[in-house]
Homo-oligomer: A and B are copies of this chain.
Amino acid sequence: MATDVEKGRPAGRQSGYDRDMETRAVTAIRMLAIDGVEQANSGHPGLPLGAAPMAYALWSRFLHFDPTDPAWPNRDRFVLSAGHGSMLLYSLLNLTGYELPRDELKHFRQWGSKTPGHPEYGLTPGVETTTGPLGQGFATGVGMAMGRRVLAAQLNREGFPVVDWRVFGIVSDGDLMEGISSESASLAGHLQLGHLIYLYDDNHISIEGNTEIAFTENVEARFQALGWHTVGVDDAEDLDALSAALAAAVEDPRPSLVRVRTHIGFKAPHVQDSPKAHGTPLGPEETKLTKAAYGWTAPPFTVPAEVEQHLLGLAQRGKNAHARWTALYQKYGAAHPDLAPVAEKLFWGPHVIPTTPAELPVWHEGDSVATRTASGKVLAAVADAPGLVGGSADLAPSNDTRVEAWGDFEPGAVGKNLHFGVREHAMGAALNGMALSGLRPYGGTFLIFSDYMRPAIRLAALMHLPTIYVFTHDSIGLGEDGPTHQPIEQLAGLRTVPGLYVFRPADANETRVAWQVALAREDGPVALALTRQKLPALDPDRYPVHLAARGGYVLREASSGHPRVMLLATGSEVSLVLSAQERLEAAGTPTRVVSLPCWELFRRAPKAYRDEVLPPGLTARVAVEAASPQPWHEWVGPEGAILGIDHFGASAPYERIYAEFGLTVEHVVQLAQQVTSGGEA
């Protein structure tokens, strides 16, 4: 890995700053923030009032940003993990010249504005990640710092530090109480992510009162135990002290936590240091008094021209850095023509990994392969894709997520096999952070433990990030580990996350298709639900498995071509219904088998195609899935039957559990015969 060159950041305490102007600039940030909240009559004034100086110190003296190009690949990332303080960020973005006009601040929290209640990635220029659910920003930033290290290892070369950015952020006590931030902090400390620097807005107030009612741990000592550098600043108004602390953080090779003792609602005379300042507008009277306390006389949403100029000027340092970087990047292209196209793609996309059928493994009649195993083989086949990176939450041997061709991602070694530890939630957020960095990350765990990372999966979907989840051990088919490990309701739950593709392939070849879909997707996450147990391969010469890419298809038509009943299934239950089909056909009932591996894709198919696969007139339908039946009502009307599991699992060899739970060929045949008194195609 190439060594980073120093960016020539200012050394903290410097002369030459216009103290008075700086104070007015900080006040301007505060005043716009409370103006926004007042106008909306909704929002969180307390954080911006307390944290504006640290934000100013960071943005004015450290953060490399260029409002004219928010996608500049080498910009520093700023994460407002305490997303409820969104007006602080919107003020900063507006005042430093981002494409976020003052009018948008006036429409804070209104329909169609670019200033929603919590910052949203993709909606507002300069917002690096969606935050609000506490802990997520913290953990996503850790992922960004991991992504930065992977990118630097791949792209930087002697004299060409084209990847040379840092992750800065502001985190709150709420962020630090959430378990996800502990997981992520432990991981960041372990990995010694020195380019990660968080300011901790230590305001001693949470919604229920003083943090002393629930949060009395020694935060700095905790972070030190996790391998972090920490430093405290007692006077949140002291820009020099803040700068010195940030400079020390930049220097330190460990991730850094800069604890700043702030005062929520600073200078609001009746609500400072009170939970009342947190999530309630100050109201007209308190706003007036607060502005008076700051000596601020400008009308709402206005800033004196010279202060505006000063704040607009803050971007100059970043613009200069951007210009230097552009020159460097041009030379890089000439010096490393092999790497330039890779960099181009990782920096600006498209972030898809195209695959050709020829490069991927195929399985044939007689092969018996768990879909997790097939997944591992597909991964190995696409290991050369530059953006691909991934790992598991300490289940790599079970998830088949390890790529042998890669090294390990560890302190001092930047391979692409990630070891997240038993930290599913941190993994989920880290995947988001890496995807935001331009990589194509995947993460593995058992499907049951998707429950531990749901908030991060949701954010991936909300941000349209192309993360990939390798969820193995996807049903009671995992057997002896028992009900604590057997997913029942997880498929149903994941299928309701808007924009998430849930792909449960029926065999090794559908698994190949699932990976192709996932790697080709750029606008959202994909979850693969894979088996522990072996499944018979569906030979492409006999079955049109390539149609799995449409989300659902006729896997095997009735021999007569005129089905009287239809069997629908996903994953491991597909081979079961294929056997049932044979029995039914032998008994004279023409039967169609439909594989429905990815409903989100199927719903997007043209209606004509869907009606072809599931003819509306053919209401004799039996759906089989070893999971909660809830979602199947969509495909199986009142005249059909659903064979699912609406209770918890059991501990035994899996064949026994299937039998005891009635997931048998005999039962499917019986149900099919029951419903076949219904309609015909």
Residues of A within 8 A of B (CB): 40, 42-43, 83, 109-113, 116-118, 120, 130-134, 173-175, 177-183, 186-187, 189-190, 206-209, 213-219, 221-222, 224-227, 275, 392, 394-398, 408, 410, 419-426, 448-449, 451-452, 454-455, 458-459, 461-462, 479-485, 488-489, 492-493, 495-499, 616, 628, 630-631, 633-634, 637-638, 646-648, 650-653, 656-657, 660
Q: Which 3 residue pairs spanning A and B have beta carbons closest together?
A: A179-B179, A116-B651, A132-B484
Contact B216 A190 (CB under 8 A): yes
Cα of A110 to Cα of B482 in the assembled complex, Å: 10
Contact A83 B179 (CB under 8 A): no
Contact A652 B110 (CB under 8 A): yes
Cα of A481 to Cα of B181 in the assembled complex, Å: 22
A120 contacts across to B, CB distance below 8 A: 482-484
Contact A111 B495 (CB under 8 A): no
Contact A111 B652 (CB under 8 A): yes
List the B residue with the shortest CB-CB distance to A488.
B498
Q: List 18 A-B contacts (CB under 8 A).
A: A42-B480, A111-B651, A113-B651, A117-B485, A118-B484, A133-B485, A173-B422, A178-B423, A179-B183, A179-B423, A179-B425, A190-B215, A213-B419, A222-B222, A222-B226, A458-B489, A616-B638, A631-B633
Cα of A497 to Cα of B648 in the assembled complex, Å: 9
List the B residue with the shortest CB-CB distance to A647.
B498
Contact A186 B396 (CB under 8 A): no
Contact B179 A215 (CB under 8 A): no
Q: Would A498 and B648 be within 8 Å (CB), given that A396-B208, A462-B483, A616-B638 are in contact?
A: yes
A132 contacts across to B, CB distance below 8 A: 481-482, 484-485
B419, B452, B633: the one contacting A633 at CB < 8 Å is B633
Q: Would A133 and B484 be within 8 Å (CB), given that A179-B426, A634-B633, A650-B116 are in contact?
A: yes
Q: Would A630 and B183 be within 8 Å (CB), given that A110-B652, A422-B173 are in contact?
A: no
List the B residue with the shortest CB-CB distance to A461.
B648
List the B residue with the shortest CB-CB distance to A417.
B208
Q: Shortest beta-carbon distance, A111 to chain B, in Å? A: 4
Q: Would A225 and B222 be within 8 Å (CB), given that A116-B650, A132-B481, A190-B214 are in contact?
A: yes
Contact A213 B451 (CB under 8 A): no
A217 contacts across to B, CB distance below 8 A: 186, 189-190, 225-227
Contact A421 B133 (CB under 8 A): no
Cα of A176 to Cα of B617 in the assembled complex, Å: 55
Count the copies: 2
Q: Would A394 and B628 be within 8 Å (CB), given that A183-B179, A484-B132 are in contact?
A: no
A423 contacts across to B, CB distance below 8 A: 177-179, 214
List the B residue with the shortest CB-CB distance to A426.
B179
Contact B225 A178 (CB under 8 A): no
A175 contacts across to B, CB distance below 8 A: 422
Cα of A402 to Cα of B430 in the assembled complex, Å: 36
A459 contacts across to B, CB distance below 8 A: 484
Q: Shortest beta-carbon distance, A549 to chain B, in Å? A: 22
Contact A183 B182 (CB under 8 A): yes
Contact A207 B492 (CB under 8 A): no
Other 16 A-B pairs with CB < 8 A, given A177-B394, A275-B397? A109-B651, A110-B652, A117-B480, A177-B423, A179-B426, A190-B214, A208-B394, A213-B419, A214-B419, A216-B227, A218-B226, A219-B225, A461-B648, A492-B492, A496-B630, A637-B637
- Give the residue among A492, A647, A660 with the most B Cβ atoms within 10 A: A492
List the B residue with the shortest CB-CB distance to A391.
B208
B112, B187, B206: the one contacting A422 at CB < 8 Å is B206
